[in-house]
Structure 1
Amino acid sequence: MDYFYQSQIFSGRLSQLIAVLTGSLTALSDGMQYGWSSPALSVLQSPSSPIKFEDWHMVWLENLYMLGGLFGLPLTIYLLDKFGRTATSIELLFFARFLAGFGADVNFMATPTYIAEIADKQIRGRLGSIIYIMMLLGILLIYSVGPFVSIAASSAIGASVIIIQLMTFSFMPKSPYYLLVKNNVEGARKSLQILRPADEVEDELREIAEVIKKENEERGRPLDLFKVKSYRKAFLIMTVLNVGQHFSGISVMLMNIHMILEDAASIISVSTAAIIFSALMLISCIMSAILIDKAGRKFLLYTSSFLTGISLLILASYFAAKNANVDVSSYNWLSILSVMLYAICFKLGLGLVPIVMTAELYPTNIKALGCAVADAMYIIGGGVSIFLFYALLETYGLEVPFFLFGFCCLFVGVFSIFVIPETKGRSLEEIQQMLKGNSITDTEKINLLSSTGNGSYNVNYE
């Protein structure tokens, strides 16, 4: 490991990128699990299904993934604070989905936190976006191979990704924030020497130590999440964004894309349409990752939310006309257009920015709990959206859930304009000051980083 600490090849932003890429490999496997049910249901509902499959099974195959994540929350909180940020029957499939959700929960809390704590603030948004890009690669992969290979074969591909991550990410540096919380000053210094140019780490080390010292003096308790103004605002923002993500219909889309596009089968095969859908999401996500540190989180959020809402309302109107016995055979291309528009618009902001902001809005002293509660809202939102979709589908038809999802997106857009602060280019401490309602001027930035007013720090590291 000493070679990595001393090597200039692995210092600076390149090492940040390598750490993020290897740390995000799990998201690729998680993406395969997230999108697994859509192509798998086509196999399971076919006459050649390897197991006996009934219609009610598909609701639980989708929701057990969410429930696994919910039950994994207590373990995730413990792991974040203790160790750092790092089937032959339907019953077996249910159990496997539950375990997949359990593991995904740890990944989607720990990885954004790790990225936020190792990244330069100028590129934190782009690096934080990589986890979603990896997830979309996983969805694209399962859509591409799932309909054409056995369930066991597609699972083996996902398992191989995890093995690669174990062989690579084990050599990456730990978060300097986490190491200083554990009073490992020398470890934090070595970590920063890998993640930054080696001769520029002392000032940042002092800054992080000062922030952690201040936060430890105000050690967070569970009730503080609702009693402290800045924490409460962070909780409100993350609840709306995480629930809003699912009530934009993303889980329903990813897990049921083959069913939603059945009407367009005469124009393009459903499997091909699903691959194009996931590819468009991936391209849009990459574009958003490029723009997020330039255009800002806020602009991408409300623009994406409004456009996503419009695409969903177009899709809902199509299904409403069909349900009213209007002949829509000449307009079945509209369902494809609206779904593809949805893929582009959703991942432009609403499908990416929340996971970047999750680790930005909470300070170190309450980050594990705050991220866990935000994740719980995400999981609950996902489960409720799926159950609600099937309930409304059976009672009213496809148009009602998509009208609901469309108007929810419009609400998130308005919320983003009036409530969410712009965190672009801000340090984690500056973001806390903004949530408290304090204005950050250049002078205040200097004072924030200095405990003496003359540019030096009175922090004892030893």
Structure 2
Amino acid sequence: MRNLDSSNMLHGRFAQFIAVFTGTISAVSDGMQYGWTAPVIPILESPNSPVAITESDVVWLENIYMLGGFAGLPITIFSVDKFGRKYSILIAAVQNVVAWFLIAFGTSVEYLYVARFLSGIAGDVAFVSAPMYIGEIADQHIRGILGSCIYLMMLFGILVVYSVAPFVSIPVSSAVGCSFLLIQLMSFPFMPESPYYLLLKNKKEQARRSLQRLRAVMDVEKELEEISTAVERQQNERGRPIDLLLVKSNRKALLIMSVLNCAQHFSSISVILMNIHSILEDAASMISPNTAAIIFSALMLIASFVSAGLLDKAGRKILLTSSSILTGLSLLLLASYFAVKNNGTDVTSYNWVPVVSVMLYAVSFKYGLGMVPIVMTAELFPTSVKALGMTISDAMYVIFAVVSIYLYQHLKGLYGMHVPFFLFASSCFITAVFTMFVIPETKGKTLEEIQQILKGNTTEKKTPSVEHIEEGGNEKNEDTRL
């Protein structure tokens, strides 16, 4: 009997992995779009450019992607609740296909503007609906590793565009990005919808069938009832926008995600991704910018794979805390180098320091700060305000990206490159303290248990897999249901 249960569990987890894998393939394309300007703009600025651009066009090609993300906010809120998590992912994939076609065959910079704007909207929709889908279909014991898949896919996309785009034509690199979307459009429609969403729409029989496919067992009544009870309770808690601030658990979830989104960008990730060439200028004799970018993105991807395997074993808090400290130390080393250089000291014999600092940063950031927040986004908000909460989190992610880039350019111009990096290092150390004292551990917890922890109901359950904590922290013992 135990072997049969183990076999069912294995098949169920395999089914969840297939659903998550096919649901996050589009993130490879999103990663390619995110990193697209770094290798492609030099091509567009060359004498043989297929599309003539000016210096102001470069700025707009970088920023219009972010503007598309802002424009996608109301679309995201509407889509995930109206069409569901699954079909929102597919809609975003179609948008991205259109964007790649415009990039490949556009004859003027206006085509590129439209493409970048569309891909920004698609990225916003996908990076809300996909984590939401994963959080709602995954078994709590593997939700961390499954939730990290979308970020792994995106990092792989950055590595692909850094490795391919500098060496081929723009239509060829666009075809590579489009191919991942076509794979998703041919496979993901056959995957089940989130049982949470189906229960929200009063489709209990469809939710039962979805859960049966995802767990690879026919008897899912116990889990279905738990989900149904959780959805019903969360629906009874009003889902108005103001409830993100009025309800204690929602307020804490919003605070945590605000800090984590701020921490990600104030640890300088967008700054480094967009300025890695100038940051490593001193080390040009050691390594070329193209090679450095490929190594940097490869290290991030490897670190993320390691993190994915540790999320459901070590837990979120230890990864976040240690990552914040190590990231802060790597930035402190980088800032110190530029401070010494800015003081007029000859640092020629130490031009290896920026390379070591940036590569150490790639590893230390991605295994914690770069991975854990996207997993927790799908865990912390209840069903009643999940779409809105995750969309606001995504909006803050974009806002903090823009602010961090502006601060970097402003402080660098006024005081030197070392000042913003000292600021970013300090932010990392503050994040470590916040993580230790404020953020709850969500490893191995059901979505309902996490809500109870956020409410302050911390009564520990004796049998986590079968018991359900009801509103108010009272436990419903397994024996009463047998």
TM-score, normalized by the shorter chain, greater than 0.5: yes
CA–CA separation in structure 2 for the residues paired with 1:58 and 1:285 = 30
Aligned counterpart, 1:14: 14
Correspondence 1:77 to 2:77: yes
Correspondence 1:305 to 2:324: yes
Aligned counterpart, 1:378: 397
Q: 1:411 to 1:91 in 2, by over 3 A?
A: farther
C-alpha contact 2:469 2:476 (8 A) present in aligned 1: no
User: Residue type matched to 1:402 in 2?
Assistant: F
Pick from 267, 287, 307: which aligns with 2:306?
287
User: Residue type matched to 2:19 in 1?
Assistant: A
Aligned counterpart, 2:226: 207
Correspondence 1:33 to 2:54: no
C-alpha contact 1:34 1:254 (8 A) present in aligned 2: no
Residue 70 of structure 1: how far off its partner (Å):
1.1
Give the secondary structure class of the aligned counterpart of 1:81. Answer: helix
Q: Which has the higher contact order (CA 8 A, sep 6+)?
A: 1
Aligned counterpart, 1:67: 67
Q: In percent, how many aligned pairs have the same letter?
A: 60
Residue 46 of structure 1: how far off its partner (Å):
4.1
Q: 1:325 to 1:56 in 2, by over 3 A?
A: farther
Residue 52 of structure 1: how far off its partner (Å):
4.4
Correspondence 1:296 to 2:296: no
TM-score scaled by structure 2? 0.89
Correspondence 1:347 to 2:366: yes
C-alpha contact 2:468 2:475 (8 A) present in aligned 1: yes
CA–CA separation in structure 1 for the residues paired with 2:42 and 2:362 = 21
CA–CA separation in structure 1 for the residues paired with 2:47 and 2:169 = 14
CA–CA separation in structure 2 for the residues paired with 1:422 and 1:452 = 22
Count, aligned residues: 451
C-alpha contact 1:38 1:257 (8 A) present in aligned 2: no
Kindly report which structure 2 residues correspond to 1:185-200, keeping only aligned pairs within 5 A, or say none. Answer: 185-200=204-219
Give the secondary structure class of the aligned counterpart of 2:167. Answer: coil
* Of 206-215 and 322-331, the range deviating more from structure 2: 322-331
CA–CA separation in structure 1 for the residues paired with 2:217 and 2:84 = 23
C-alpha contact 2:239 2:385 (8 A) present in aligned 1: yes
C-alpha contact 1:36 1:255 (8 A) present in aligned 2: no
Kindly report which structure 2 residues correspond to 1:189-338, keeping only aligned pairs within 5 A, or say none. Answer: 189-338=208-357
Q: 1:415 to 1:426 in 2, by over 3 A?
A: same
Residue 97 of structure 1: how far off its partner (Å):
1.8
Kindly report which structure 2 residues correspond to 1:19-168, keeping only aligned pairs within 5 A, or say none. Answer: 19-86=19-86, 87-168=106-187
CA–CA separation in structure 2 for the residues paired with 1:43 and 1:319 = 30
CA–CA separation in structure 2 for the residues paired with 1:407 and 1:143 = 30
CA–CA separation in structure 2 for the residues paired with 1:453 and 1:316 = 55
CA–CA separation in structure 2 for the residues paired with 1:234 and 1:9 = 31
* Of 239-248 and 148-157, the range deviating more from structure 2: 148-157
User: Which ranges in structure 1 are unaligned for 5 or more consecutive residues?
Assistant: 1-7
Give the secondary structure class of the aligned counterpart of 1:167. Answer: helix
Q: 1:394 to 1:54 in 2, by over 3 A?
A: farther
C-alpha contact 2:461 2:475 (8 A) present in aligned 1: no
CA–CA separation in structure 1 for the residues paired with 2:209 and 2:10 = 12
Aligned counterpart, 1:3: none
CA–CA separation in structure 2 for the residues paired with 1:154 and 1:285 = 24
Aligned counterpart, 1:448: 469
CA–CA separation in structure 2 for the residues paired with 1:143 and 1:65 = 18
Q: 1:82 to 1:376 in 2, by over 3 A?
A: same
* Of 190-199 and 320-329, the range deviating more from structure 2: 320-329
User: Residue type matched to 2:78 in 1?
Assistant: Y
Q: Deviations over 1:181-231 (max 9, x none)?
A: 111111111111111031441110010011111112223111010011110
Aligned counterpart, 2:103: none
Q: 1:273 to 1:75 in 2, by over 3 A?
A: same
User: Which ranges in structure 2 are unaligned for 5 or more consecutive residues?
Assistant: 1-7, 87-105
C-alpha contact 2:335 2:417 (8 A) present in aligned 1: yes
C-alpha contact 1:128 1:355 (8 A) present in aligned 2: yes
C-alpha contact 2:69 2:398 (8 A) present in aligned 1: yes
User: Residue type matched to 1:74 in 2?
Assistant: P
C-alpha contact 1:305 1:410 (8 A) present in aligned 2: yes
C-alpha contact 2:72 2:125 (8 A) present in aligned 1: yes
User: Residue type matched to 1:380 in 2?
Assistant: I
CA–CA separation in structure 1 for the residues paired with 2:47 and 2:279 = 21
CA–CA separation in structure 2 for the residues paired with 1:454 and 1:442 = 11
* Of 100-109 and 439-448, the range deviating more from structure 2: 439-448
CA–CA separation in structure 1 for the residues paired with 2:358 and 2:338 = 12
Residue 443 of structure 1: how far off its partner (Å):
5.3
Q: 1:150 to 1:258 in 2, by over 3 A?
A: farther
Report runs of 4+ in structure 1 exceeding 6 Å deviation. Answer: 449-452
C-alpha contact 1:11 1:194 (8 A) present in aligned 2: no
Q: 1:454 to 1:405 in 2, by over 3 A?
A: closer
Give the secondary structure class of the aligned counterpart of 1:288. Answer: helix
User: Residue type matched to 1:216 in 2?
Assistant: Q
User: Residue type matched to 1:22 in 2?
Assistant: T
C-alpha contact 1:132 1:352 (8 A) present in aligned 2: yes
C-alpha contact 2:45 2:53 (8 A) present in aligned 1: yes
CA–CA separation in structure 2 for the residues paired with 1:454 and 1:29 = 45
Q: Deviations over 1:103-147 (max 9, x none)?
A: 100010000010010000000000001111101110100110121
CA–CA separation in structure 2 for the residues paired with 1:10 and 1:26 = 26
Q: Deviations over 1:381-408 (max 9, x none)?
A: 1122222222333333322222222221
User: Residue type matched to 2:205 in 1?
Assistant: E
C-alpha contact 2:325 2:428 (8 A) present in aligned 1: yes
Residue 244 of structure 1: how far off its partner (Å):
1.3
Q: 1:80 to 1:456 in 2, by over 3 A?
A: farther
Residue 58 of structure 1: how far off its partner (Å):
3.6
Q: Deviations over 1:294-345 (max 9, x none)?
A: 1100110011011111111211222223333322222111111001000000
User: Residue type matched to 2:423 in 1?
Assistant: L
User: Residue type matched to 2:15 in 1?
Assistant: S
C-alpha contact 1:34 1:255 (8 A) present in aligned 2: no
Residue 440 of structure 1: how far off its partner (Å):
2.8
RMSD value over aligned CA atoms? 2.2
User: Residue type matched to 1:80 in 2?
Assistant: V
